[in-house]
Structures are given as C-alpha cells and as structure tokens.
Amino acid sequence: MAWTVLVVSGVLESVWATALGESDNFRRRTATAVFAVALVASMGGLAFAMSEIPVGTAYAVWVGIGAVLTVVISVARGRASLSPVTALLLVGLIGCIVGLKVVG
C-alpha cells in the first residue's frame, strides 16, 4: 500500500509543479488552486509512505517520478523539446527509480 501511495504522490508532484508554472506567480486562481490541492495531497502521501519505506528511498522515488513526469508533460505541451540525450537521461532516471523499488 505504501508503494502505491508513493507512486500516486509522485504523480501529484508533477501536477503541482506544472500547476505552479501555470499559475503566473499565483495570479491565475484555477492553476493556483490545483497547485495547492496537489501539493498538500502529494506531501501527505509522501509522509504516509515514509511510515513504511525508508526516508531516502521514498524521497528519491517521489522526486524521480515527479521530475520525469514534469518533463514529459512539458514536452507534450510543447513547452520543452526532447533531445536524444534528455530522453536517455530520463530512461536512466526511471531505471534508478525501479532499482530503488527492487532493492527496497
């Protein structure tokens, strides 16, 4: 259960990071509200997961999922480009996240 919550919390990290970028310095209400709700839910899920998963592993997985998905969202929305090197580094990051789950 803790791993499922951690993965969902990592996804929510990418949601709040994207919403933060869209909030126009907290001037856009909808994006700001999405940011706030996703941030609280993401942090709450991370805290819950840390009750069963070591802190270092949980945090690394949470940040990794959030970082990868935030880049993917940015590329999908046309706000960033995906070079072969960036793609390779993202694959490496995903491999490290999976590795932490396997050894954890």
- Distance of alpha carbon 13 from alpha carbon 11, whole angstroms: 5
- Give me the pLDDT at residue 63, please: 94
How high does pLDDT run on average in the chain? 94
**What is the identity of the amino acid at 16?**
W
Q: Is the pLDDT of residue 104 over 70?
A: no
pLDDT score at 43 = 98
The answer to whether residue 102 scores a pLDDT higher than 90 is no
How confident is the model at residue 81, as a pLDDT?
A: 92
Number of structural domains the chain divides into: 1
Give CA angle at 19 (3, 6), nearest 5°.
5
What's the rounded Cα separation, in Å, for the pair 46 and 94?
A: 18
By residue range, what is the domain housing residue 47?
A: 2-103
Question: In whole angstroms, how far apart are CA 78 and each of 22, 73, 75, 82?
Answer: 14, 9, 5, 10
Tell me the pTM: 0.87
Region 65-87 average pLDDT:
94
